[in-house]
Structure 1
Amino acid sequence: MDIKEYLEIGVFFSNLEITSCPSCSHPVTNEKKQHAVTAHTCALCNDDVSMDISDVNIDSLSAKSEELVRLQKGLRLNIERLKDELEELRKSDNNLYSLSIGLEHQKV
């Protein structure tokens, strides 16, 4: 899974409308949701969400994703350059081999 897909899935799940607890199946009422919003807590686990680091993570992961894309492009260019060099070396090797065969035939 790539970083962009990871971010999209995170946004999708953070925007889900929860109607019941996935653990105990008790309903999650609108009142509980409103209280959670005003208290900056999770409507399911009551953990503090006032320091929402998901925005920081999204920015950080997006920057890393962009850097990885640039790195990947650079690596692809290097691979192509190395393939070209390898092809030139093969041609040179074939020429040298042909010359050595020709010299062997001249000795005979």
Structure 2
Amino acid sequence: MHELAIAENIVDTVCTRAAGRPVRRVTLRIGALTAVLPDHMRFCFDLAAAGTAAHGAALDLDLRPAVVYCRSCQVEQRLPDLIPLCPCGSADVTVTTGRELDIVSMEVA
């Protein structure tokens, strides 16, 4: 479960930025290709936040689909699964969304 290590890093980052103030809410942008499972991330965030300035903070997730631009058919398409192949069968693609793993915002008291 790699979500725990990610959650620990997120909590460390927001607590450092909060400079001792209580963190009320954290918003993350998570792409489908990161293989981060939303329910696991929420659970791990709560574990990592226990005893910190982020204890009890709400976690909002902005989930982004995997989208590729296919150089063969010159179309941008959402991937039906996590394999970066265009539905036309070409592997000549550029991932345009789906790799995000960002702290978008945080709310402190």
| Rg larger in structure | 1
> Greater share of helix residues, 1 or 2?
1
TM-score, length-scaled by structure 1: 0.24
TM-score normalised over the length of structure 2: 0.23
- Hey, which of these two has a bigger chunk of strand by percent? 2
